[in-house]
C-alpha cells in the first residue's frame, strides 16, 4: 500500500509519498509547490500529480492503489471566537479547547457581552463562536444574558454552546433560530476539564461547512476524501510521539509559518514545592497559536507587536531599525520572497527569533511570589516547562535554518512584562524537521499513529 499525504499551507502546498516498512514508513517522494490561494484545488492536484509522477492521480485513488490523506491551514485557518465567564477558568478552557481542535482564537470575551463586543463580532464574524461559561450547576445569569444578546444580534456564524448544562435547554430555545450546536460542558467542574465534545463539534463544522467556498469542496468532490485542519493533525501527532517513545514523553514543538507560529507541548502539570496553581489544570498536550507572529504575511505585525525588544536590538542604530521595518513591509507585499543580501538574512533571523521567543513565552506558564497568611508562596499560572529537554523546530524557515540559535530566543528574558518568571526550558536538545515532513506524517498518523510517530522521530535532525 502507498500513502500520499498533502498539506495545503498559506504559502506552500507540500506532498509526500510513503510506503509502510517494518514498524515505520519509508519516504518515496516529496514535492513542494506554491499554494494557489485563488483556488486551492489547483495547487493541490499539481502537488498530488507530481509526487505520484503521473499526469492524473485520480485513477490511482479510485482504484485503491494509493490512499490519500490531506490537511489545510490555508486562508488563515479556522477562526474561532471564544466566550467564557471568568477569564482564568471557563474562558481559558474555551481557548484551550479551540486550540486543540486546530483553530486560532480570533477574538475572546469574558463575563457579559456589551454593544461593542457584538459590533466587533458582526463586523468581523469568526467561523465559529465557542460559547462557554459556568460549571454544571453553577452560574447561570451570565450565560442566559449572553444568549439573549446573541439572539438579538446579526451575527451569522456557527455557534457551539459548551457551557453550564443546567441552561442548555434555555440556550437552545433562545438561540434556536441561529446555527447552533449544543454539546457537553468544556468545564463541568473545576478539576475536570472536558474539551472532547466541543473539540469534535469544531472539527465537524470545519468539515461540513467551512471547506465550502475555499476550494476544498472541489478536492472533496474529486477525491472523496475530506480534509482536516493541519493543526488538529499535528496535535494528534504530538500525542502519538509522546506515547510511542518514553524518551519523547515530554517535548516542545514550534511550528513557524508565514502567517502564524504554533507551539505545542507534551508535558505534565508539575508544581514545585511551595507552589500553588492558579486556574484550571491544562491537558497533557497543549497547543497555542499566535496569529500576529509569522514570517511573511504577518511580518509587519510582528515588528509592531515586539517593538520594545526591537528597540533594544537596534539601540543607537535608527537607520538599521528603519531598514528592518522596510524589509518587513517588503515581505508582507511579497510573501514568497527569500533574502538575498547578508543584511536581509540577518533581518530574517531576527524576525524568526522574535516569532519563536514571543510565541514560546505566551505558550508557557508563569510564576510569581505572593504573600499569604501562611507565608510566601509561588503562584503559578499555566504549565512549568523548565524540565523539558527536547525542542523541535518545524515549518519552512525553521526546517531550513541549521545555524539558528533557538536557545537564545527561547529564554530571551527571564521575566515577562508583569515581572513574572517565564517557565520555559533553559537546557535542551534542539531538533529540526529538516525535510518539513511533520505535517505530512501527521496526516498519515490518522491511519497508523505509531508508525507515523516513529518515523517522525527518526526524520528529525539534531
Rounded to 5 degrees, what angle do the CA atoms 436, 441, 446 make?
155
In the structure, what pLDDT confidence band is assigned to residue 52 with cuts at 50, 70 and 90? Answer: very high
In the structure, what pLDDT confidence band is assigned to residue 378 with cuts at 50, 70 and 90? Answer: confident
Burial of 367 from C-beta contacts in 10 A (0-12 / 13-18 / 19+) = buried
160 or 216: which leads in pLDDT:
160
Q: Residue 167 belongs to what H/E stretch?
A: none
Say yes or no to pLDDT of 213 above 70. no
Share of the chain above pLDDT 90, in %: 63
The DSSP secondary-structure symbol of 141 reads H
**Tell me, what's the pLDDT at 75?**
59
**Tell me, what's the pLDDT at 78?**
80
Burial of 84 from C-beta contacts in 10 A (0-12 / 13-18 / 19+) = buried
Q: What is the pLDDT of residues 99-125, one digit of tens each?
A: 887 788 889 999 999 999 999 999 999
**Tell me, what's the pLDDT at 405?**
92
Most confident option among 35-39, 248-252, 408-412: 248-252
Phi, psi angles (nearest 5°) of residue 446: -65, -25
In DSSP notation, 172-239 reads HHHTTTS-EEE---S-SBTTB---HHHHHHHHHHIIIIITTTTTHHHHHHHHS---EEHHHHHHHHHH
Say yes or no to pLDDT of 214 above 80. no
**Tell me, what's the pLDDT at 400?**
92
Say yes or no to pLDDT of 198 above 90. yes
Say yes or no to pLDDT of 276 above 90. no
Instruction: Compute the average pLDDT of residues 456-460.
Output: 96
**Tell me, what's the pLDDT at 76?**
60
Burial of 209 from C-beta contacts in 10 A (0-12 / 13-18 / 19+) = middle
Which of 377-415 are b and which e, b meaning 16 or more Cβ less than 10 Å from the residue's Cβ? ebbbbbbbbbebebbbbbbbbbbebeebebeebbbbeee
Residues 188 and 93: their CA atoms lie apart, in Å, by 11
Instruction: Compute the average pLDDT of residues 358-364.
Output: 93
Say yes or no to pLDDT of 10 above 80. no
**Tell me, what's the pLDDT at 375?**
75
**Tell me, what's the pLDDT at 346?**
96
Q: What is the mean pLDDT of the chain?
A: 91
Residues 366 and 341: their CA atoms lie apart, in Å, by 39
Query: 249 and 239 in contact (C-beta within 8 Å)?
Result: no
Residues 151 and 263: their CA atoms lie apart, in Å, by 35
Query: Strands 390-394, 429-432: parallel, antiparallel or unpaired by DSSP?
Result: parallel
In the structure, what pLDDT confidence band is assigned to residue 186 with cuts at 50, 70 and 90? Answer: very high
Q: At 323, list the grid cell.
A: 531598514
Q: At 148, list the grid cell.
A: 439573549
Instruction: Compute the average pLDDT of residues 363-378.
Output: 84
Query: Cβ neighbours of residue 389 under 8 Å, at least 6 residues apart?
Result: 250, 251, 425, 427, 428, 429
**Tell me, what's the pLDDT at 377?**
87
Q: What is the pLDDT of residues 292-305, one digit of tens each?
A: 888 988 899 999 98
Q: What is the pLDDT of residues 394-453, one digit of tens each?
A: 988 999 999 999 999 998 889 888 899 999 999 999 999 999 999 999 999 999 999 999
Q: What is the pLDDT of residues 222-234, one digit of tens each?
A: 898 888 888 899 9
**Tell me, what's the pLDDT at 250?**
97
Say yes or no to pLDDT of 212 above 90. no
Q: What is the pLDDT of residues 334-346, one digit of tens each?
A: 888 899 999 999 9
Q: What is the pLDDT of residues 119-130, one digit of tens each?
A: 999 999 999 999
Say yes or no to pLDDT of 11 above 90. no
Q: What is the pLDDT of residues 315-340, one digit of tens each?
A: 989 999 999 999 999 999 988 889 99
**Tell me, what's the pLDDT at 323?**
95
Amino acid at each position: 500500500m502507498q500513502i500520499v499525504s498533502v498539506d495545503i499551507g498559506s504559502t506552500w502546498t507540500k506532498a509526500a509519498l510513503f510506503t509502510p516498512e517494518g514498524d515505520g514508513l519509508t519516504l518515496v517522494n516529496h514535492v513542494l509547490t506554491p499554494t494557489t490561494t485563488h483556488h486551492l484545488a489547483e495547487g493541490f492536484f499539481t502537488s498530488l500529480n507530481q509526487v505520484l509522477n503521473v499526469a492524473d492521480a485520480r485513477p490511482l485513488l479510485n482504484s485503491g492503489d494509493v490512499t490519500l490523506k490531506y490537511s489545510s491551514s490555508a486562508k488563515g485557518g479556522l477562526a474561532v471566537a471564544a466566550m467564557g465567564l471568568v477569564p482564568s477558568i471557563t474562558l481559558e478552557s474555551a481557548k484551550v479547547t479551540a486550540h486543540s481542535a486546530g483553530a486560532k482564537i480570533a477574538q475572546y470575551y469574558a463575563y457579559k457581552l456589551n454593544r461593542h463586543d457584538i459590533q466587533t463580532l458582526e463586523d468581523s464574524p469568526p467561523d465559529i463562536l465557542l460559547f462557554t461559561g459556568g460549571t454544571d450547576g453553577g452560574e447561570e445569569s451570565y450565560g442566559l444574558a449572553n444568549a439573549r444578546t446573541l439572539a438579538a444580534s446579526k451575527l451569522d456564524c456557527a455557534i457551539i454552546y459548551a457551557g453550564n448544562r443546567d441552561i442548555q435547554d434555555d440556550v437552545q430555545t433562545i438561540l434556536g433560530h441561529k446555527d447552533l450546536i449544543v454539546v457537553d460542558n468544556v468545564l463541568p467542574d473545576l478539576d475536570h476539564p472536558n474539551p472532547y465534545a466541543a473539540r469534535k463539534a469544531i472539527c465537524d463544522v470545519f468539515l461540513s461547512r467551512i471547506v465550502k467556498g475555499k476550494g476544498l469542496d472541489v478536492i472533496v468532490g474529486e477525491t472523496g476524501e475530506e480534509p482536516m485542519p493541519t493543526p488538529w493533525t499535528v496535535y494528534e501527532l504530538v500525542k502519538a510521539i509522546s506515547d510511542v517513545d518514553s524518551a519523547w514523553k515530554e517535548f516542545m514543538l514550534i511550528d513557524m509559518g508565514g502567517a502564524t507560529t504554533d507551539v505545542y507541548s507534551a508535558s505534565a502539570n508539575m508544581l514545585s514545592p511551595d507552589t500553588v496553581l492558579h486556574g484550571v489544570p491544562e491537558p497533557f498536550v497543549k497547543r497555542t497559536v499566535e496569529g500576529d507572529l509569522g514570517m511573511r504575511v504577518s511580518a509587519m505585525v510582528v515588528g509592531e507587536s515586539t517593538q520594545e525588544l526591537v528597540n533594544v536590538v537596534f539601540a543607537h542604530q535608527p537607520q538599521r531599525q528603519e531598514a528592518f521595518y522596510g524589509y518587513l513591509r517588503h515581505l508582507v507585499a511579497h510573501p514568497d520572497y527569500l533574502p538575498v543580501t547578508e543584511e536581509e538574512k540577518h533581518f530574517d533571523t531576527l524576525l524568526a527569533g522574535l516569532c519563536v521567543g514571543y510565541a514560546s513565552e505566551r505558550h508557557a506558564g508563569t510564576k510569581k511570589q505572593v504573600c499569604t497568611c501562611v507565608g510566601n508562596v509561588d503562584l503559578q499560572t499555566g504549565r512549568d516547562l523548565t524540565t523539558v529537554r527536547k525542542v523541535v523546530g518545524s515549518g519552512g524557515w525553521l526546517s531550513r535554518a541549521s545555524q539558528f540559535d533557538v536557545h537564545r530566543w527561547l529564554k530571551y528574558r527571564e521575566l515577562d512584562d508583569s515581572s513574572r518568571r517565564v517557565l520555559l526550558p533553559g537546557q535542551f536538545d534542539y531538533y529540526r524537521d529538516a525535510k518539513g515532513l511533520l505535517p505530512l506524517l501527521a496526516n498519515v498518523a490518522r491511519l497508523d499513529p505509531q508508525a507515523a510517530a516513529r518515523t517522525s522521530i527518526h526524520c528529525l535532525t539534531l
